[in-house]
Structures are given as structure tokens and as C-alpha cells.
Chain A
Amino acid sequence: MPQIFPRWTNNIPIAAGLLAPIIGIGLIFAVWYWFSPKYTDVGYRPKQPVPYSHKLHAGDMGIDCRYCHNTVEQAAHAAIPPTATCMNCHKQVKTTSARLQMVRDSYDTGEPIPWVRVHQLPDYAFFNHSAHVAAGVGCASCHGRVDKMVVVEMDQPLSMGWCLDCHRNPEPNLRPLDQVTNMNWDVTKEEYDPKRDPERKRQVNPPTHCSGCHR
């Protein structure tokens, strides 16, 4: 009786046995890496309707973050500024620039500029800017060097694990309260001990329980 399968097929079970764990590990790695916010979210850089450059405004010209995002110390949101804030300057400068046409239109008609959200938390996570700014967490700690970004992108994954890394050990990410918006203050190089800072009225004690952020 002739053999139905050629001889090399005897190796299939061995090959399968060797490959299955590799594929399995590969799959785990794939999900772990490609499905994590570190891969999906970091570097997210949507095209904005107005080619606004943070590098130019915040970096080269040195406008403080809070000039535009002026609710950051009072509210949960660091609100996108109203068009009127743009026009404070652009009534005088670049008044005919074609790139600013949408801003001028918005100012004239009252229609909002449809900015695209870059940093987007899930609806069940409640983040509050004012609490973090008051604790001395720098803008750059979460948003990266916005002063060097022509188009804003996500610098950090903003995942729950990433949040908890800091909530469990906040000291390395704290800075003097007057340096919060300073993009050049480098937490890895500067010597700063929040416990000895007389400017701080209270020591931070970030929540790590569920209802700290989920409610």
C-alpha cells in the first residue's frame, strides 16, 4: 500500500508544536503593543482646521499657556480659547493672512472653529486640570514640549496605568508652583523637593481609589 502522505509531513506536528507558542506569544505581544494607548494614542496628530502653531506662539514668542487656556486654574477643562482671544492680537497682526481667514470668519459670524480634539479621555474618566495645576504638575509632564510642536500631538499615552504611575509616586513629576507652565523646566534635571517648598500650602496626596477619577 502506497503512502498517502509524503515523509516530510511527519515534521508537521513538531513544527506546529514549536510554532504555536511563538505565534501565541506573538499574538500576546501584538495585542499588548499595538492595542495599547502607547501605540494607538501617542503621536496622534490630527489635522487642525486652522494651521495654528504652538511652536511659534508658545515657543518662539513665549506666550504663557494660560493666556489662551485661561480656565486651567479654575475648571476641569483647560478650555480651547474663544476666537476672540485670537483676535486680541490678530486684529493688529497678520490681518490679511489667508491662513487666518477661518478665524476672522468665526469672529465675524459667531460660528465656532471646529478644532479637532487631541487629548481625549474616555467618558467614564473625570480629569480635572485645576487640581493638577494646583498640585504643581507641569503642563509639559502630560502634554510634552508643546512649545516645540508645530502641530500638536499626543505625547503621553494618558492610559490608566500611566496615570497611576504618577498618582502612586507623584514627587518626581512635581515642580515649584510658579514653574507649572514653564516648558523649559526639566523635572529630570532640576533639584526640587516639594516637601520643603514653603510656597506649598498642602502636600499632594493623589487618589488611587476608583472614585478618585470614576464617578
Chain B
Amino acid sequence: MRNTKDYRHGYWRSLEHRAMSHDEEADTWREHPPKPEGTDVSAGGLSRRRFFGVSASGAALAGAAATTGCIRKPKENILPFSERPEDMIPGKPLYYASAFTLGASVTGVLVESQDGRPTKIEGNPKHSGSQGATCVYAQASILDMYDPDRTRSPMQGEEAIGWDVAEATVADLVKAKAAAQGRGLAVVTGYVTSPTMRAQLAAMKARMPEAKIYIDDSMAPNNAIAAAEAIGGKGARVVRSLLNAHVVAAFDSDFLVSETDSVRLAREWAKTRRVTRTPDLTKSGGKVGGEYMSRLYVVEPHLTPTGMMADHRRRAKGSAVGDALLALAKALDAAGLAWPGETAAVAKALPAGSVDDTTAQMIAALAKDLMDPANKGRSAIIVGERQPAWVHTVGLLLDAALGNLAAGANVTGSARWMVDAHAVDAEPISNLTAADTIFVFEANPAYDAAKADVIAAANTVHFGLYRDETAQAAKYHIPVSHWVEAWGDTRALDGTIALQQPLIAPVFNTSSSLEWMSVLGGGRLVDGYSLVKFHHQAQEGAGAGADKAWRRWLHDGVATSQPREPLPPQLSGWGEIPKLISAGRQPVDGMEVNFHLCPKVGDGRYANNAWMQELPHPMTKLTWDNAAYVSAATAQKLGVATGDLINVGANGGSMQIPVFIAPGQAEDTISVALGYGRKWGQSANEVGFDTYAIRPYGSWFAAADISKAGGEHELVSTQDYGRMKPPSLIFDYPERPIVIENDVTGWAKDPTFVEKVNLMTRDRLHHLWEPPKLAGKQQWAMSVDLNTCTGCNACVVACQAENNIPTVGKKQVSNGREMHWIRIDRYFRGDENEPTAVVQPMMCQHCESAPCETVCPVAATTHSPEGLNDMAYNRCIGTRYCSNNCPYKVRRYNFFHYNLNLRPGWLNDDEDGARLAQLQKNPDVTVRFRGVMEKCTYCVQRINQAKIEAHVAGRDKVADGAIITACQQVCPTGAIVFGDKEDPDSAVSRAKANSRDYQVLRDLNNGPRTTYLARIRNPHPELESTAAREDEAGAGHGEGAAEAGHGA
């Protein structure tokens, strides 16, 4: 019997893969597996008619060339500025500080401008919400600016109207309402982070006291805010920091990827997980606790990236997560936790939560960890934004008792109380039942809050980028500026103020929402620059030095002189908790449907973003779709398999949605993502299924009737693409080490464990011929830490933006033709219902003796003296041998001219749109044509730029840290490190010196330059034995199938 703590074996990529026999698996080992119906060769939009058209024009061109006797390139004009702007050097990008907002999260960013075109978004290291990184949404939002679907002129119904008409219409509506004190006026917005906009709304309230403001924002932490305000009064907020955390318990919280302030929290949490030295059991008394490496406990209904990172994870229905927290409160109380002051009575009276046995075991271990004196004030109870307010209040109660919640500076606690004094006084959108004039600012209540009737019945003016559901229902639709085109300001939850500045004049001559809002407060359209500057100078005083301070803020992106110290609120609301519990606690007995924000399209606001649609989902790897995640056992009960449609009835509505059997899903639940099933937009239209139809607004789970519907829907998941296990036709390979994990004690006992998982020892590896010596002064290499990689996808989209990677559409993805240079592989291990998971970003490994190079017939891929695996696109003739021979399956082939055909069938009807989208392209990277192979270049354009700068300055070598690849730049957890491996002091050399460092498929002796740091888990010592027992039980029936061919 194999030792179940042996992390070498038993990985599987999908349930299909897990159930396969060894021979079947060999048959499926194809890079582009043929589909039953064959692959459609015309999928690039090249019909027969168009083919002949292209042939004819080609012939005409050849004729023209022959007659003129000239094969010169076409004449090109250079149009220099009449007067070049200061600091602008043509061809050199400039970076401007701005800020990106999503719900209540603010990420400071630096936007790259290439000759006046914003092309790429990077994190701003000076902003607390970014610390140099960004989330995946910020990366993708640049594409929205160039979206050809953006409305180009104001509209009344279906008719385009002039800007002057639009402005007069809004002014008239406001005037009429101002005369009536605002009676019957409703203003709908998303969560407002902008202090200027808050002031404007306050001015509007002063002018029209009876006007109502409604917030419609599913991405804002509405429940967390409600809980904080219940305890701390109006404006109270809790802001977390995980820098000092030893123990983190997440209750249905995906705080690492998709929730508020995820970038900052992921960065801070990663610092507690980036272990550089091997643990020493002799010094720590035989056990490794949170002070060495924080420990993460998770209870959640479906597997999220946070659950994937957890040391212990338990499944629970969304409606039962609160019970787990109540059980924890009871366990802590039983262990003698000292409840501070007035909270004791409340805590003692908390109802008992019912949890199953395995969860109870975990709760017991968690309680022990929390009661450990070493962890006092160094833990965090994070309740997810989907949980109702009462769960949040219980979480805050525990945080307070554990010493985590503190006020004032210099606290070690993981969270602190603050007061957001100028928060907008607003109601949730669900309260909007009737109004005669509605202004909707960049919100979509007709889609996400079922308010289409109310919108249509009133004089509604919709301000937004797209003619979306609300715009279609509204009487007027006025396009607004994208945030990269507009002035603005933001206030993060921790109080950091950051300014937004435009990088480009509005492409469609629009004004921003902030500017339109000035009509509400003052009656006329004022430019954003004046609004923002005036507001901040009024706050700071416009005396001497004010202009200088303003310029400093713009330059840094952060207004440092704004007060950031928290003001502690009066915590008088602890007594509210029992009332909140009795009002809000609603267990679901039968089947439960729970809703979540899609880690790709959010609440639907990125649904028309082709990058986001094509991105594989972090856990299920689904693209261009959403689905109902169910566990294997529940699927069996329902009699369905992946792709089968089910009927889901909830909240008085019903819908059909395909099933996706997702390992790690709680029993008797289905989890569905919001944001799909749209009826507009070239990317969004008809993609996925609209789950708002069955969602009670503001609630994230509900009892549901679920039955098999009959019929199927093709779901495209990339989870089986690029498997790295060879067929067993010739040799019966044992499973090769691709992801390597261990736990801390295993690592401590055997510091060289990564060495031992290889099939061959180092001395057995020989080259057929002497590898050529690499003469470069610096040798580029990368290290990826699997211990901190959360699979959030930010790197995938950052790479897409930086390297001009096209999207190909669902059909092409289903043929295995996606173009992402970074593929984030997700592996499961263990039981199919309660597996552990690990992700591994896989991109070109830049092998020192690269298998791709030896088979290229035209030497289009060769090695640089600095260790890069170069790709000369113009030499490539498209044999695809290199891709065939790549053991890591990281080469991507342009089967069609995807860059012209950005979306399937797109160019033909919208050439303006194609030209607009071209403006996003990075001019430092070649745009590849059909028939060309491509792959990760280690961002060679950035390497060359840094080298040229060093050479011009007279240095031979590039300083460590001067080259930051796009994926490294954006990584919230800093898992990716790049640099010169010849320099022993470089960050990458230090990372590779870690005893966890390993090469994937080292036995092939390729010498990959990208190496990985093995994943280390930090299980609680008492749960370890339990986990091992469970593992063993699981191994008995589950792993046998996948491993049958080779008893280990």
C-alpha cells in the first residue's frame, strides 16, 4: 500500500481523467484531440466566397507589382506633432498614475501610454490597495475602452440624438425635479468611492431633499458594511490586514481572488506563506505553527481559489456556513475565551450551529489554534461577502474577543475599525419600486435587480458605456467616458485617497458620470478636472503650495496628505446580534442554489470583454460559459452528467442551465455564477445563462427545485488540454512529477524531498551531445512559487495585454486552439468529492536544450546566448513540429488570422471596430499572422528595453529588478520572480536556492529555465492524522483506477 502522505502520486486533472484506464488515457493524449464532428476549417470566417475574393485580390496585387516593376513597401507618412508635448518622446511609453475601482475595492494603477494610446495597466506600488499588483479585472478593463460596442452617441429610444439635445434634456429633467424638491427623483449608482461624487450627491440632496439615492452594486461588500454599521453605527467599517496573521479562517470567503481588497489581502497573506528556509523541528518543539507559516482554514460551498489554497477545507451549503461559525463560537467559549465587556452576554447566548463530523473536527482544531497564546491578536475570521450580515457580526464578535480588532496605530491585530464619514446615505436598489424620473449612473438594475419595469415606466436617463439591459429599457441612454478617459478620485476602504487622470481624450466625445452628476448638483455640466481639483483643494486648503501638492498627488497617484489614521467608532451595537440572527438565519433543508460573482465577468460588467470570456475559470477551467456546479454524488442523485441541462426553480422563477460536475462542491447544492446570458454585445450575447432570473436580490443562496431537463449544452473546459503524461504505447511510464507538494513536517524531515520524486537521479541524466555553451553575460530565468500562486488569472490577462495575444472564440477553444501563453493547470488529488487542489502556471520553460529547437526545419526557434528560447515569427513556416515536440505543451499556433478576426465573424461587419481595437496593441511586440507559432518570450521586449537602457548608460549588465515581466508585475502574491540566475544575489537566484526548487519533468534533461517552488501545506497536527485516514479511505476506491497501470 502506498503511503498516502506521499505527495508524488494520484493527481488528476478532471473527473474524466480520473476515471480513465491507463490505455484510454494514452489514446486521449493528443494536443489537439479530434472531435467527433471534426474541426471546422472555415471557423476563421473564411467562406468559399471570401477565399476566392482574397485569391483574386492577391492576383491583382501581383499584377500591379509586375506592371510597376516595383516591390517596395507601400509609402508611409510620418506625422510629427506641430508642437511636441513636454516630456513626450515618440516611441517611448509614458506612465500615468490613476486608480481602478471595482465595488468598494480601489487599486492604484499606472497606465502605460504608447504615443497617446493607453495600452496596459500596471499596479502602483505606492497605493495600499495595489502595492504594485492588480487584479484580473483591472488588467482586462483596458480592453473595454477600445470596445467597439461602446455607444457612440446619446440615444432616445432607438434614435441617436445630439449631445446638445442630451444635455438640455437632462438639465430640463433636473430643473423640473428641483422645483419639486426632488420628489419622485431616484438616482441609481454603483458603490461610490469617489469623494467628489459623494460631495455632489450630498449637494444634490441639499438642493432636492426628497430625492432618493439607490445603490446597485453586487460587487460591493454590502453585507459586511451592514454588519459593521449595525455594531459601530453609521459609516463604521472594518478594514483587514493579514500581514501579522498566524491563523486565517475563511467562512465562504474568496478573499484571495474575487472579494473586496483581494489584491492587498492576497499580497499580505502571501507574505505569511512565502517560506524561504526549511523548518527546523528541533527548534520548534516538533511542531510547526502559524508563526512559521500561516495556516488557512476554509468552509465554503464550492471550490474557490481560496479553498484551493487552504490547509484545511470543509464543504458546507452556503446557508450552513453561518452554522460552522456558530459552532466555532461555542467551541471557543467552551475553551474559555474571554469575551470582552458587554459582548459576553451576547456570545454566551449565541445559538448552537449544527455541523457534520468532519467539519466539527476542523472547528475543534481551529479553536485550539485560535486559543494558542502565540496567536493572540494574530488571527483573522474572514466572513465572505455572500454571507448575510448576521454571520459577519458573529465573525466580528469573534475577532474582537480574539484580540484581532483594534483601533489606532501600531496594532498587530488583523483588522481595525474605521469610520467612513462621508459615505453616501443610500438605500439598496431593491427598495426602488416607483419613481417618475430615474438617473442611472453606470449600474444595470434592469439586469441584476429585475427593475426593468420600473425603469421603463419612468423618465429614465441611463449613463453607461454600453447599451445594456437598463439602457434599452430607459428612455434616454447617454454614453459616458471610460475611467481611463476621465478625471476622478477614489477613496479606498482604508482611507487612501487616489486620483484618476485621463490618458486620452474621450474616444467617443463623451463626458464622465462624475461630470454628468454635476448637472444634478449645480444644474450644468462642469468638466471633471475642475470638479476634482476644486473638491480636493477645498478639503486641503488652496493656499500656497496647493498646486504643488496637487501635482505631487497626480504624479504619485496617492494623495498622501489625506488623513489615513482610523477613527474608532463607538461600538454600541453588539446587542443587535441576536436580533440579526433571528431575522436572518434561514437554513435551507433540501437542495440549495447559491450564486457567486464570476471570477471572470464579475457581476456581468465584464461580460462583453472577450479577454474575460475566453479566460479559463480559475477552478473549473470553463471558458465562454457559466454552469451549475454540482458534486458527483448530487449529480448521480439527479441523474445528470457534465453538459446535461437541469431545471432550477427558485425565488418564483425558473431557468435551465447545464451541469458541470465540480470536485469539492458541497452536497445538495448547486453553485452558479452571475453575469451571463446577455442579449446584447458582440462578446456577451448568448454566452452562458442568466442566473439573476432566479436570484432574490441581495441574497446569495436560496432553496431550489432542481430536476433534470433533458437536452445538452456544450461546455468547453480547458482542464484536459496540455496534459503532460505521455502515451503508454511504447513504454509504460510511471506517473511523472509535475506538481510537487509536501507538508511542513514532511519537508522538515526530508529537506531534499523534491529531489527524490524524480524518476531518475541526477547522475543518470546525460546529453546525447555536448550542449552548446551559452556565452551571454546574464542568463535569464524564472521561479514560480506554487505555495503562493492562487490561480487568480491576473498573469494570463496581463500577458494577453502585453503580448498582443488574440482571442479565438468558444469553437476554437473547443478545438484546443486557445492562444494564452500562460496556461494555469489545476490538479486535483485524492477523493473526488473532497479533493485537495493545486494550480501551476505553465508557460514556455526556456529549456537549455530545448526539444522544440532541434526539430524546427527552418531554425525559426533558436537559442539566444542569454538562455532565451527565441521565436522568429517571420521565419516560421508553420509545420508545428516544435509544438508536437514540446513536453510542456506551451506552444500556441495561429490556425487563423485571429488578430484580424478578434471575435468570430467580427471584422466583416465592423472595420471601424477592428481599427479601434488595434489601438490597444503593444507596438513593441509583433502582431502575429496566420500560420505562425508563438509562445512565452519572457517578455523579451522588456528585457531588450532594459538592456538597451543599461548599455546606453554604459553598463554591461542589467541591474536585478530592472526587468519585470508582465506576469511578474501583476501577480498579487508575488509568486513569480524573474532575473539573472548567474548573479547569486539576484531575487531569482535566491528563490532557486530554496530547497523546494524543482524542474518540471527533470528526467527529460531539458534544463528548463523556469523552475517551481513546491507547494507546502501547513496542516494542524491533530487533523493531519484524520486527513491521512480520510486520504487512505479515499485511495482505496478512488485512486485505484487512475493508477491501475503501474502499482507504485
Contact = CB atoms under 8 A, between A and B. Distances in A.
A197 interface: no
B66 to A, nearest CB: 12
A112 B72 CA distance: 25
B924 A115 contact: no
A210 B954 contact: no
Nearest to A133: B952
B862 A214 contact: no
Which of B871, B872, B875 has its CB near the most chain A CB atoms (within 10 A)?
Answer: B872
A120 interface: yes
B699 interface: no
Contacts of A201: 954-955
A134 B952 contact: yes
Interface in A97-139: 106-107, 109-117, 120, 122-124, 126, 128, 130-131, 134-135
Contact of B80 (A74, A80, A122): A80
A211 B80 contact: no
A172 interface: no
Contacts of A75: 89-92
A215 interface: yes
B766 to A, nearest CB: 27
Interface in A58-93: 71, 73-77, 79-84
Contacts of B954: 134, 200-202
Interface in A163-215: 200-202, 205, 207, 209-212, 214-215
Given A40-B72, A209-B870, A214-B872, A82 B84 contact: yes
Nearest to B954: A201
Contacts of A73: 952
Interface stretch (B482-490, B548-556, B701-709, B937-945): B937-945
A109 B82 CA distance: 8
A211 B91 contact: no
A26 interface: no
A123 B84 CA distance: 24
B773 interface: no
Q: Helix, strand, loop or mixed for chain B's interface?
A: loop
B90 A71 contact: yes
B530 interface: no
Contacts of A71: 89-92
Given A116-B76, A116-B77, A83 B82 contact: yes
A72 to B, nearest CB: 10
Interface in B913-937: 924-927, 937
A73 B937 CA distance: 27
Interface string B40-81: 000000000000000000000000000000111101111111
Nearest to A46: B75
Contact of B78 (A115, A124, A209): A115
Contacts of B955: 201-202
A73 B801 CA distance: 28
A112 to B, nearest CB: 4
Contacts of B92: 71, 74-76
Contact of A124 (B73, B81, B863, B873): B873
A109 B81 CA distance: 11
Interface residue tally on A, bucketed by range = 35 or more
A35 interface: yes
A172 B121 CA distance: 43
Interface string B219-245: 000000000000000000000000000
Given A79-B91, A131-B948, A202 B956 contact: yes
B868 interface: yes
A215 B926 contact: yes
Interface string B82-94: 1110000111100
B83 A211 contact: no
Contacts of B777: 205
A79 B90 contact: yes
B72 A116 contact: no
B874 interface: yes
A40 B926 contact: no
B23 to A, nearest CB: 41
B874 A35 contact: no
B951 interface: yes
A117 B79 CA distance: 10
B90 A130 contact: no
Interface string A2-44: 0000000000000000000000000000000001000011001
B523 interface: no
Contact of B944 (A126, A135, A202): A126
Contact of A77 (B81, B84, B91, B870): B91
A114 B956 contact: no
Interface in B864-899: 864-865, 868, 870-875
Given A71-B90, A77-B90, A79-B89, A210 B76 contact: no
B89 A112 contact: no
A107 B868 CA distance: 47
Contacts of A209: 862-865, 868, 870
Contacts of A81: 80
Contacts of A130: 948, 952
A82 B80 contact: yes
Contacts of A120: 73, 76
B124 to A, nearest CB: 24
Contacts of A215: 924-926, 937, 940-941, 944
Nearest to B872: A210
A68 to B, nearest CB: 10
Contact of A35 (B71, B862, B956): B71
A114 to B, nearest CB: 5
B1003 to A, nearest CB: 28
B868 A214 contact: no
B949 to A, nearest CB: 8
B864 A116 contact: no
A165 to B, nearest CB: 19
A112 B79 CA distance: 5
A82 to B, nearest CB: 4
A191 B863 CA distance: 36
B77 to A, nearest CB: 5
A135 B956 CA distance: 12
A112 B81 contact: yes
B80 A83 contact: yes
A111 B77 CA distance: 14
A215 B875 CA distance: 12
A53 B92 CA distance: 28
A215 B872 CA distance: 7
A74 B72 CA distance: 30
B951 A134 contact: yes
Contact of B874 (A76, A112, A113, A214): A214
B926 A214 contact: yes
A124 B82 contact: no
A113 B82 CA distance: 8
A128 B946 CA distance: 12
A82 B951 contact: no
Interface in B836-883: 862-865, 868, 870-875
Contacts of A117: 75-78
B82 A84 contact: yes
Nearest to B869: A211
B944 A123 contact: no
B1021 to A, nearest CB: 50
13 contacts: A74-B92, A75-B90, A77-B91, A79-B80, A82-B83, A84-B83, A106-B82, A109-B82, A114-B79, A124-B874, A124-B926, A126-B941, A214-B872
Interface of A: 35, 40-41, 44, 46, 71, 73-77, 79-84, 106-107, 109-117, 120, 122-124, 126, 128, 130-131, 134-135, 200-202, 205, 207, 209-212, 214-215
The 9 closest A-B pairs by CB, nearest first: A201-B954, A112-B79, A210-B870, A209-B864, A77-B91, A134-B952, A211-B870, A82-B84, A210-B872
Given A83-B81, A215-B944, 14 more contacts: A40-B70, A40-B71, A71-B90, A80-B78, A81-B80, A106-B82, A134-B954, A205-B956, A209-B863, A210-B872, A212-B864, A214-B870, A215-B937, A215-B941
